Structure 1
Amino acid sequence: MVASVRLLAGLLLLGSTFASPVPSTNGIKFPPLPFPPITPKGLLCQLPIVKDFVCPRQTSSSLSVNTPIGAAKGTSDTAGANRFVVKYASANRWQPSTMATTWALPNGASDPSALPLSCPQPNVDDSAFSEDCLSMILYVPSNIKAGSNVPTMMWIHGGSFIVGSATGPGLDGSSLASATNSIVAVVQYRLGALGWMAPSGATNLAMGDLITALGFLKAVVPSFGGDASHVTIAGQSSGANMVRAMLAIPSASSLFNNAIIQSDPMDYGFLSTSTQQTMQSYFNGLLNCAASDTSCLDAISLDDLIDAQMNLFSTAYSLDPAATQAEPMRPVHDGELITTTLDSSSPFPSVSKSVLVSTVLDEAALTIYGNYQTAIPESSWEQAVNGTFGSARTQLICNSSQYAASQFVASANATVDARAQLQELGTDYIWKCASWTFARNWASHGGAVYAGLYIVGSSYPGNEAVAYCTQAGVVCHQDDIQIVFGTAPSPDGEQAALIGEMQARYGAFFRTGDPNPAGKGLAEWQAGGGSDVNAILLGGSGLAPVGACDPSYWGEEVQYDYQVYGI
């Protein structure tokens, strides 16, 4: 197989060839735009035969740290952090993961500088992944040692729950670990059908992997100088969705202190058990094995499993629209592990943790301008909205001044390009306003919440495939990742300043649950409340304009998808 695309947690757009036809009011639907292609170098970095030559790391002699489960072998590099790669758990196919009891390098490696293979996923060479993929990479500042009691952050990568890895672009945690004087752990978990569609009906196996990973960190980080009582979980996009799901798991609450949620497509909500069962029945029918026939299920090749998975991915919306076309395999509100929806569709529980919630300025631009390289006439605006939202919500949206064409043109005589309206609409309802609704709920029920909007970013590898995302002032989905990790290539002055700011704020948040570091001269980031989220502009000054994210509009006058579908 060759390098290809990742599916974006995004909008559904007119007449694209990227998704199978689905029913709608006007026969128009917004199919999800895939993520930009993995660059050839990005793919080669995952190939075990060449990754050490194509993507070398500047490392020195191997290191050894004694842990309760054996000697941890690692390497040091020039970024001021030591790197330790480890297999944190094992799992038989569609069975719960079990924590490692001995320290071992992933995939049978003997070289501590070797990178882990990713979990099985579509459009990646088979040699780049392994079903035995429950690995993590620890980045440990070189100046700390046992007894230092520094905090730990566990990062959960995104990728619409079907792609991604701990070795994804921009996820080298060396800079972030050094700048925050914290341990950074970047973790892998089972993807797609292997993590979410057990034929037995067991749900949330991938969430169980993350719980196992947190238990592993609790056991080993003191040996590296970490404080096991100060763990923050963080993630972006679908990874952020999993962070929010962790907040809805009472049994996991003691494993971490606080949480960071970057660009979670909260509009979708968690899956209901009924939607999951509908999808499960369809998926099981593709396998030609009885749900209880373990031998038969274990004999299915990974290629065949991925084919069945992608069949489900493209079919799920037609089976149950609540599945969505963008992320049909995702956390399930099963009432046992995940006990609350953490949205406005059910009573919000009492909470106490501190949460940082952020989105970027142009979340939906990758989808809109990726599907449409030329302008969309204003005459298509209402029809396009109706294809996704249905007549009732469409009238509310199209009659609102929030998305009127006049808001997106420089003068009354200017030609209107409806892509600008669609981009704003998608950004608001899937990401920004849904996140702000969550923030208000969190603050109203006892937790501290800090909201932010990135207006400066670093173009994520592959985003350059969409020309709009390369324009000055545009911050597309994923463009916050290299800012947080400090991996932006050749950052300009604005980017460098924001990298410094965010790493200082994250370092403070890891320790105290408050992103206001002392002595750094940064503007105060005020906690949000039940009505005002006080979202600061990250890369600017002051607060983000409320616009359509007023609590009386999205979630009240116009409902989110999770409300419409009763998830």
Structure 2
Amino acid sequence: MTGRTPAPEIRTTSGTVRGRVADGMAVFRGIPFAQPPVGPLHLAPPAPALPWDGVREALSFGPTPPQSLGLGFGSGPESPSDSDEWLTVNVWSPDPSGSARLPVMVWIYGGAFLVGSSDGPTYDGTALARRGTVVVTFNHRVGAEGYGHFEGAVPNRALLDQVAALEWVRDNIAGFGGDPGRVTVFGESAGAGAIAALLAMPRAAGLFHRAVAQSVPGTVFSPALAADVGASVAGELGLPATRDALAPVSPKALRDAADAVLGKITQYGARWGRIAHAHLPFAPVVDGEVLPRSPWEALRAGRSRDIELIAGHTRDEARLFTVMAGRYGKVTQEEADTTLARFAPGREGAAAYRAGHPEADPTTMQDLVMSDWLFRMPSLHLAEAHAMSGGTTYTYELAWGAPALGGVLGACHGLDVPLVFGTLRGGIATMVLGAEPPAEAVAVSEAMGSAWTAFAAHGDPGWARYRTEGRLTRVFAAEPHTVPYPHETSRHIWAQHAFSALELSQDADPVPSV
């Protein structure tokens, strides 16, 4: 008679949780790390979770925070639950005995700061945990709930949610077999932008020891720009942009108001500049307190130089958005010129793109400048800022291209996520890899997953450090290799760009006259 593996039970600071054993891992889902941010706590900082008596079943993911429905591709699922208990963590552990002291990897999801949740097949921590780590994922507020800037409301609530989740890890992860002295945060897209902000935040100091920032967006807002966006959201409700006025508004109604702004965001181009044309109404706010200054400025000044950092990007970041919009191969010269005028660093930068890529067709040129502005150059500049201040830094590029849709996606934005997690079936993986992942995908996934977990364990991913002299970069291709940074033309074009907080614009839209 075969005995069943007993369900693991762990005592946390709020009470005992009972998980389950799945695929050889102890898995705990939906553990509250903060109270539901509704009612008196709406638009407030996260408050510690209330304790419970007895044993709480931790078998299901917590409900998702309100998700934008206006993003199009990538919009998050609406939770079927009516529960407001969004702020929950999930843990995968190969050894929940509490004595293993394994390295801890804490994932922060992306989603344009508008959508995202920790459930779904892509972020399953089983494969990474099997490599000898304790994996943590969690929910945090997004959109207007997390980043809306309103008078009287603490700014950057999403970042404070992340700090609260990391405090939960510090206080509880030893009971799950993790080492609270070896915590690595890793995240992609908006999650990488959040990690860049956490590196600059005094409130996050000491909560993590290593960081992996995958495709860092270069958008952080000044208070004036963020307040103007907030006023537009409140205006959709006929209310002033204050916490007192907005606190009684339901979170989904606030989400709907933000979606209304998103639906006509290009109308704000004269005031909001690039973020209006990129459809990005929310981002971390350099408010002077929660986030004292932009991450690039903070790291150049030596902030977090004691934290070891990997920063990198995919080769063809923007291709995903071009394909999903049905514009691949259809971008006109006028559209490419408009993109260059709006997003290249000045007229000299636009001219340098044309001179540096004389054979580029309009689609290729638009993808190139958008990839650089959105993710490639912010990621590189974050690495350079950290390295210049004396921090231990590694860089990478994912150059292996997705085979789906005839290969047109290339090494697109988001492709790295299932490869790192080793979740090669279901979710985004099926879209970019096909129903059955090819052998090369398995090999690249093995290379990235082993590098990330080695870095979490001892700070060395297996290739040379990035230094501003040689700029050595790991390229994940069918055969991984290390070379000097592979996009010198773009690096030179953006060399003097500061990635400071974006301001309200008083300038006319800099489109070329045709």
State the 1:147 CA deviation.
Answer: 1.8
Query: Which secondary structure state, in structure 2, belongs to the residue aligned with residue 229 of structure 1?
Result: strand
**Could you tell me which residue of structure 2 aligns to residue 327 of structure 1?**
280
* Cα 1:82/1:391, change in 2 over 3 Å: closer
Shift of residue 349, structure 1, vs aligned partner? 3.2
Q: Which of 467, 470, 474 is 1:532 aligned to?
A: 470
Give the aligned partner of residue 432 of structure 1: 376
Q: Is the 8 A contact 1:360 1:480 kept in 2?
A: yes
Query: Match for 1:114: what amino acid?
Result: S
Residues 110, 481 of structure 1: alpha-carbon distance in 2 compared, 3 angstrom cutoff: same
> What's the secondary structure of 1:542's corresponding residue?
strand
Q: Which residue of 1 aligns with 2:27?
A: 82
Instruction: Give the match's secondary structure for 1:535.
Output: strand
- Tell me the amino acid that sits aligned with residue 323 of structure 2: Y
Q: How does 1:112-151 map to 2 (within 5 A)?
A: 112-123=58-69, 124-125=77-78, 127=80, 130-141=83-94, 143-151=95-103
User: Counterpart of 1:385?
Assistant: 340
CA distance in structure 2 between the partners assigned to 1:433 and 1:122 by the alignment = 27
Tell me by how many angstroms 1:533 deviates: 2.6
Whether the 8 Å CA contact 1:443–1:528 is kept in 2: the answer is yes
User: In the superposition, relative to structure 1, how do residues 484 and 144 fare at CA in structure 2: closer, same or farther (>3 Å)?
Assistant: same
**What corresponds to 2:312 in structure 1?**
358
Displacement of 1:438 after TM fit? 2.0
User: Which residue type is aligned with residue 190 of structure 2?
Assistant: S
- Residues 43-75 of structure 1 show CA distances to partners (whole Å, capped at 9, x for unaligned) of xxxxxxxxxxxxxxxx97632123343212101
Deviates more, 1:121-130 or 1:203-212: 121-130
Partner deviation per Cα, 1:372-415 (whole Å, 9 max, x = no partner) = 144445576435523544972464235422x221xx5xxxxxxx
Residue of 482, 486, 509 corresponding to 2:418: 482
CA distance 1:438–1:293, change in 2 (3 Å):
closer
| Secondary structure in structure 2 of the residue aligned to 1:439 | helix
Decide which of 458, 461, 481 is 1:512's aligned counterpart: 458
1:542 equivalenced with 2:482 (yes/no): yes
Structure-2 change in CA distance of 1:101 and 1:198 (3 Å): same
Aligned-pair distance for 1:319? Answer: 3.4
Q: Counterparts of 1:434 and 1:125 in 2: how far apart (Å)? A: 31
Question: For 1:368 and 1:472, how far apart are their aligned partners in 2?
Answer: 10
> Residue in 2 aligned with 1:471?
407
Q: CA deviation at 1:337?
A: 1.7
Worse-matched range after superposition: 67-76 or 346-355: 346-355
Q: Using the alignment, how far apart are the partners of 1:93 and 1:473 within structure 2?
A: 40
* Alpha-carbon distance in structure 2 between the residues aligned to 1:190 and 1:535: 34
Whichever residue aligns with residue 361 of structure 1, its letter is R
Q: 2:143 aligns with which of 167, 192, 200?
A: 192
Shift in Å, 1:553? 2.4
Residue 492 of structure 2 corresponds to which residue in structure 1?
Answer: 552
Superposed CA deviations along residues 102-151 of structure 1, whole A, max 9, x for unmatched, are 3699xxx975322211101133446357543001111111x352121111
Give per-residue Cα distances to partners, 1:13-47, cap 9 Å, x unaligned. xxxxxxxxxxxxxxxxxxxxxxxxxxxxxxxxxxx
| Shift of residue 515, structure 1, vs aligned partner | 1.1
Aligned to 1:49: none
Following superposition of structure 1 onto structure 2, how do residues 267-282 of structure 1 map, counting pairs within 5 Å? 268=219, 270-282=220-232
Per the alignment, in what secondary structure is the counterpart of residue 374 of structure 2? helix
Which position in structure 2 is the counterpart of 1:24?
none
1:282-321 aligned within 5 A: 282-289=232-239, 294=244, 297-313=246-262, 314-315=264-265, 317-321=269-273
Find the counterpart in structure 2 of residue 21 from structure 1: none
For residue 175 of structure 2, what is the aligned residue in structure 1? 223
**Which residue identity is paired with 1:537?**
V
- C-alpha distance 128-152 of structure 1, shift in aligned 2 (>3 A): same
CA distance in 2, matches of 1:306, 1:379: 34
Q: 1:501 aligns with which of 434, 441, 447?
A: 447
Superposed CA offset, 1:73-117 (max 9, x none):
101112544334311111321011012253699xxx975322211
- Shifted more, 385-394 versus 90-99: the winner is 385-394
Q: Check conservation: 1:363, 1:431, Cα contact below 8 A.
A: yes
Q: Distance in 1 between matches of 2:27 and 2:272?
A: 47
Identity of aligned residues (%): 22
Paired residue type of 2:482:
G
Residue 454 of structure 1: aligned partner:
398
What letter matches 1:485 in structure 2?
A: F
* Cα separation, 2, equivalents of 1:103 and 1:510: 33
- Counterpart CA distance in 2 for 1:435 and 1:254 is 23
- If the length of structure 2 is used for normalisation, what is the TM-score? 0.83
Q: CA deviation at 1:210?
A: 0.6
Q: CA deviation at 1:357?
A: 0.8
Measured at CA, do residues 292 and 437 of structure 1 come closer, stay the same or move farther in structure 2, by a change above 3 Å? closer
CA contact (8 A) 1:82 1:140 kept: yes
Change (3 A) 1:78 1:220: same
- For 1:456, give the aligned amino acid: W
DSSP-derived class of the 2:163 partner: helix
Task: State the Cα distance separating 1:353 from its structure 2 match.
Answer: 1.1
Contact 1:283 1:309 in 2 (8 A): yes
SS of the residue corresponding to residue 331 of structure 1 reads coil
Aligned match of 2:293: 340
Letter in 1 for 2:317: E
CA contact (8 A) 2:319 2:367 kept: yes
Judge conservation of contact 1:378–1:418 (CA < 8 Å) in 2: yes
How far apart in 1 are the matches of 2:333 and 2:238?
49
Unmatched segments (≥5 aa) in structure 2: 70-76, 426-435, 506-514
- Tell me the equivalent position of 1:14: none
Alpha-carbon distance in 1 for matches of 2:337, 2:309: 37
Among candidates 41, 44, 47, match of residue 98 of structure 1: 47
Cα distance in 2 for residues equivalent to 1:139 and 1:306: 31
How far residue 289 of structure 1 moved from its aligned partner, in angstroms, is 4.4
Distance 1:484 1:122 in 2: 26
The amino acid across from 2:373 in the alignment is Y
**Quick one: structure 1 residues 391 and 339, their matched pair in 2 at CA, closer, same or farther if it must change by over 3 Å?**
closer
Shift of 1:241: 0.2
| Aligned residue-pair number | 472
**Cα shift at 1:306:** 1.5
